Chain A
């Protein structure tokens, strides 16, 4: 039987506010335990929550960025359960009326010829507070509680079950991760837990309309784990069904060391959270003024930029998507094009996506800290465009710029004598020299061995110390050999 995979993702994005969602305590990561917990975060008797407007700004930004409805009225509700890292015994969240309703995210799945675009619909996004942390090490049989994280604002973003493979799930998660950083509402630091995903996974026979029973994989904090967990879970579910066992609704955890998912709790253990509107907080009312102010502060969104790169710069959908993975990459690319000229957009894209990316990757740097500035790269690309440099020599110039051997491409070319030879007389002299010195290759070529031609090109380039214009060398060689 052929199986179809159905995936929906819930994402918790910590919002990049200075203070907590319902108290004035700081949200900075990594402080000494319990030093960033106010009387409100500790849930002392008598304390009350006050909503942080900045957290609402973040939710509105997100809603506008995904084309969702930003609710004029939304309601905070209490989600009741007991746990040591939940000091009030309830989490303030949104239940029936979330602040962001609907919307969608168009993502690029895969690369190369197999790449395709897909729009993942969003169900909702709502504001809530994070819990504290239970620390199970270092306490000799007891658990420690750190309430620094308690009350950190979260936006929980819930997708529709629109993804049909782990690749689509990862593409969605990456696009969402890029977007929340793009609009400045989340730092996206997955190690620190600023962006964590839960995946709801089910399978069904291809062609069946009804969904299979889903299991939820909790707290996936890397894209790799997201993919591995889903792939494992899908195979597990298919095996179960094929061996005649039904899937039971459950929450599972992914163990990255063993590459397996394992049961956390079954549906029977599920809490009854006894949601009800929080009487300490009034309904959140977002008027047109508030909405318009936030809209005015939004940067050009990745989707808009993608479309513009395709329309105005003639980039492919894949290139446009890659270059809009983050604000930093897009800004770097645009600054490069600004120097090199719009006509060089495609070479600019290639340099940023391939050469620069590889070099950054090698050193583990991010683009904001690239030693080669966009203006320098743009200048380099100009020299390729005007035939001053061949692509090969350009790589040398790039390396020189990376190592700080010159302020501009022109300076490096001048200092290191890397200017391309385009004088056809000079190239012709070199070609003649090589043909005379390599009669064997010439004979082989004439006997039909194409490879011999490449050897001759190589000899000419060698004689020119790599600086001869390759197109001219090719053309002259062909002409002479034919003649």
Chain B
């Protein structure tokens, strides 16, 4: 059961080969056994998960041919711990919210449970407030990579990625602000999808950088991601940036042959910034695509080198404001001793936030300050428009852009915590996508020194179905995505 796709699990549940309670128990047992070492989950509540599983079983029991249950009914899923959940704590990986229980459910949580009938397995570890690329900024400790316990699982959705890679969950939710779904997917041999900005509701997703954040699925295959996106997406009037578009079936084009698909290869992604072993895997994948009938075209994204600097202005600026609500007054951590209001604010935030969060809040406050706003924030917004323009120009000559997801495989725990620029460059290929608001995926494309490598596919706005199609056809012929870490 732990190696079945979501489609297969759905069929098994519908056929009563297994119940949701049995399936959920199976994964809860695996979590109990392996999580102490992996640290992928922050909160697990067996009784609550099993209660949801019983509800799903009741739905399955009352389903009929005329009125079948939703396709994912009864399948367990792990939720990144920045989606607000009633019942489970929602910590966002921070001491600030270490004991916070939300009185309401995020849109994604409610949709997956109430509409799709899925079962929440627990809440997964993450970089504090999603600020990190290695899951090492979590107040709850780093997550280990199931492929090699000495290595990071990536970030910020590192807990979700490790959980699915170790098959502690069949799938998980993640969020991606600068690569936080795609980079951990690449590091853990998973398929991850960051949708077009506005496709998945941000209501109830604790904001890091509002104009960049987007929820999406982490799973073992493109097909699973398509099914999950069907369940997660949709207009939500509570999110003003949610897009009011007719619902679509993201799995509709999975099987379409790739003949005539034009793949753009940006020269800026194929330089010596990428480790040769990773590049070799990417080149092999491109060769495979040519075999599948795709053509390749050399393109340029000339402002790519500006993406990381622009991102590290815009994201901290928004974060500095988004995180102002964590002041110790209404919920969350409050410093035990303080002298007056200002001292309460300062001590609470000094003690409640970790170093990376504080660093970004400071950077953000700085770039928005009087006298610096034009030079930093406005300049970064101009770069953002240039980057979006680069992609728009590129998509006139290609359908999908391909390159590496990350310049390296999963690095060692602790290796980059002292070298932040190197840490930030881990997202050098993923960040531009968020600045432009485009959909993108990372899919497994081989191994380097025993660690997985990721291939990034970037699509035009609302082209998720085409990306999933390109990913699925590749996965049908290669099988990298079916590889599992040993020993778990």
Seen from chain A, the residues whose Cβ lies within 8 Å of a Cβ on chain B are 39, 42-51, 78, 80, 82, 84, 87-90, 145, 272, 274-276, 279-282
In the complex, are the beta carbons of B103 and A39 less than 8 A apart? yes
DSSP majority for the A interface?
loop
Identify the interface centre among A48, A89, A280: most chain B CB within 10 Å of its CB.
Answer: A48
The contact sample of 26 A-B pairs, CB cut-off 8 A, is: A39-B103, A44-B104, A45-B84, A45-B90, A45-B92, A46-B202, A46-B203, A48-B202, A48-B203, A48-B238, A50-B237, A50-B239, A78-B321, A84-B329, A87-B329, A89-B321, A89-B325, A145-B329, A272-B370, A276-B368, A276-B373, A279-B241, A280-B240, A280-B241, A281-B240, A282-B240
8 Å CB contact of A47 from B203, B237, B318, B370: B203
In the complex, are the beta carbons of A44 and B102 less than 8 A apart? yes
* Minimum distance in angstroms from B440 CB to a CB of chain A: 20
* Minimum distance in angstroms from B335 CB to a CB of chain A: 14
Top-8 shortest CB links A-B:
A89-B324, A279-B211, A274-B368, A279-B210, A46-B204, A45-B206, A43-B325, A46-B84
| CA distance in complex: A44, B238 (Å) | 14
| CA distance in complex: A87, B323 (Å) | 11
* Minimum distance in angstroms from B182 CB to a CB of chain A: 21
Nearest A-chain residue to B331, judged by Cβ: A44
With A44-B102, A45-B97, A280-B241 as given contacts, are A274 and B205 in contact (CB-CB < 8 Å)? no
Residues of B close to A51: CB separation below 8 A: 240
Query: Per-residue CB proximity of B76-118 to A under 8 Å, as 1/0?
Result: 0000001110000010100001001011101000000000000
Residues of B close to A87: CB separation below 8 A: 325, 329-330
With A45-B84, A280-B210 as given contacts, are A88 and B239 in contact (CB-CB < 8 Å)? no
* Minimum distance in angstroms from B477 CB to a CB of chain A: 41
In the complex, are the beta carbons of B102 and A45 less than 8 A apart? yes
Nearest B-chain residue to A88, judged by Cβ: B325
In the complex, are the beta carbons of A88 and B317 less than 8 A apart? no
In the complex, are the beta carbons of B238 and A46 less than 8 A apart? no
In the complex, are the beta carbons of B240 and A48 less than 8 A apart? yes
In the complex, are the beta carbons of B341 and A44 less than 8 A apart? no
With A84-B341, A88-B324, A90-B321 as given contacts, are A50 and B240 in contact (CB-CB < 8 Å)? yes
Residues of B close to A82: CB separation below 8 A: 324, 327, 345
Is B377 part of the binding interface, using a Cβ–Cβ cutoff of 8 Å?
Answer: yes
* Minimum distance in angstroms from A372 CB to a CB of chain B: 51
Is B306 part of the binding interface, using a Cβ–Cβ cutoff of 8 Å?
Answer: no
* Minimum distance in angstroms from B99 CB to a CB of chain A: 13
In the complex, are the beta carbons of B369 and A272 less than 8 A apart? yes
Residues of A close to B238: CB separation below 8 A: 48, 50
Nearest A-chain residue to B371, judged by Cβ: A272
Number of A-B contacts (CB under 8 A): 99
In the complex, are the beta carbons of B330 and A46 less than 8 A apart? no
Within 8 A of A (CB), among B317-361: 317-318, 320-321, 323-327, 329-331, 341, 345
Query: Per-residue CB proximity of B260-280 to A under 8 Å, as 1/0?
Result: 000000000000000000000
8 Å CB contact of B324 from A39, A48, A90: A90
In the complex, are the beta carbons of B203 and A43 less than 8 A apart? no
In the complex, are the beta carbons of B327 and A89 less than 8 A apart? yes
Is B207 part of the binding interface, using a Cβ–Cβ cutoff of 8 Å?
Answer: yes
Residues of A close to B106: CB separation below 8 A: 46
| CA distance in complex: A49, B239 (Å) | 7
* Minimum distance in angstroms from A444 CB to a CB of chain B: 83
Is B423 part of the binding interface, using a Cβ–Cβ cutoff of 8 Å?
Answer: no
| CA distance in complex: A279, B198 (Å) | 12
Is B365 part of the binding interface, using a Cβ–Cβ cutoff of 8 Å?
Answer: yes
| CA distance in complex: A174, B325 (Å) | 38
* Minimum distance in angstroms from B367 CB to a CB of chain A: 9
Residues of B close to A46: CB separation below 8 A: 82-84, 90, 102, 106, 202-207
Nearest A-chain residue to B368, judged by Cβ: A274
Nearest A-chain residue to B378, judged by Cβ: A276
What is the total number of residues of chain B having a CB less than 8 Å from a CB of chain A? 45
Residues of A close to B345: CB separation below 8 A: 82
* Minimum distance in angstroms from B439 CB to a CB of chain A: 19
Residues of B close to A272: CB separation below 8 A: 369-370
* Minimum distance in angstroms from B158 CB to a CB of chain A: 20
In the complex, are the beta carbons of A274 and B104 less than 8 A apart? no
* Minimum distance in angstroms from A42 CB to a CB of chain B: 6
Residues of A close to B100: CB separation below 8 A: 45
Given contacts A42-B330, A274-B320, 7 further A-B contacts (CB under 8 A): A39-B103, A44-B330, A48-B238, A80-B324, A82-B324, A90-B324, A281-B240
Identify the interface centre among A42, A45, A84, A88: most chain B CB within 10 Å of its CB.
Answer: A45
* Minimum distance in angstroms from B98 CB to a CB of chain A: 13
Residues of B close to A274: CB separation below 8 A: 320-321, 365, 368-370, 373
Residues of A close to B327: CB separation below 8 A: 82, 89
Nearest B-chain residue to A143, judged by Cβ: B341
Identify the interface centre among A46, A50, A87: most chain B CB within 10 Å of its CB.
Answer: A46
Residues of B close to A90: CB separation below 8 A: 321, 324
In the complex, are the beta carbons of B329 and A276 less than 8 A apart? no
Nearest B-chain residue to A282, judged by Cβ: B240
Nearest B-chain residue to A23, judged by Cβ: B238
* Minimum distance in angstroms from B361 CB to a CB of chain A: 11
| CA distance in complex: A60, B381 (Å) | 30
Nearest B-chain residue to A280, judged by Cβ: B210
Residues of B close to A78: CB separation below 8 A: 321
| CA distance in complex: A145, B211 (Å) | 31
Residues of A close to B326: CB separation below 8 A: 45
* Minimum distance in angstroms from A366 CB to a CB of chain B: 40
Residues of A close to B318: CB separation below 8 A: 276, 279
Residues of B close to A42: CB separation below 8 A: 330
Identify the interface centre among A51, A80, A275: most chain B CB within 10 Å of its CB.
Answer: A80
* Minimum distance in angstroms from B401 CB to a CB of chain A: 25
* Minimum distance in angstroms from A308 CB to a CB of chain B: 43
Residues of A close to B84: CB separation below 8 A: 44-46
* Minimum distance in angstroms from B112 CB to a CB of chain A: 15
With A46-B102, A78-B321, A90-B321 as given contacts, are A282 and B368 in contact (CB-CB < 8 Å)? no
Residues of A close to B104: CB separation below 8 A: 39, 44
* Minimum distance in angstroms from A90 CB to a CB of chain B: 5
Residues of A close to B206: CB separation below 8 A: 45-46
| CA distance in complex: A44, B205 (Å) | 11
Within 8 A of A (CB), among B211-237: 211, 237
Nearest A-chain residue to B205, judged by Cβ: A46
| CA distance in complex: A51, B325 (Å) | 20
| CA distance in complex: A94, B138 (Å) | 36
With A84-B341, A88-B325 as given contacts, are A49 and B330 in contact (CB-CB < 8 Å)? no
| CA distance in complex: A51, B320 (Å) | 23
Nearest B-chain residue to A76, judged by Cβ: B240
Residues of B close to A84: CB separation below 8 A: 329, 341
Residues of B close to A280: CB separation below 8 A: 207, 210, 240-241
* Minimum distance in angstroms from B482 CB to a CB of chain A: 35
Residues of B close to A145: CB separation below 8 A: 329
* Minimum distance in angstroms from A347 CB to a CB of chain B: 57
| CA distance in complex: A88, B323 (Å) | 8
| CA distance in complex: A82, B373 (Å) | 20
| CA distance in complex: A50, B203 (Å) | 11
| CA distance in complex: A46, B206 (Å) | 4
In the complex, are the beta carbons of B321 and A80 less than 8 A apart? yes
* Minimum distance in angstroms from B364 CB to a CB of chain A: 9
* Minimum distance in angstroms from B213 CB to a CB of chain A: 9
| CA distance in complex: A55, B330 (Å) | 28
Residues of B close to A50: CB separation below 8 A: 237-240
| CA distance in complex: A87, B332 (Å) | 13
Residues of B close to A47: CB separation below 8 A: 203-204
In the complex, are the beta carbons of B368 and A80 less than 8 A apart? yes
In the complex, are the beta carbons of A282 and B241 less than 8 A apart? yes
Nearest A-chain residue to B106, judged by Cβ: A46
| CA distance in complex: A45, B207 (Å) | 8
| CA distance in complex: A89, B328 (Å) | 11
Nearest B-chain residue to A145, judged by Cβ: B329
| CA distance in complex: A107, B202 (Å) | 48
Residues of B close to A282: CB separation below 8 A: 240-241
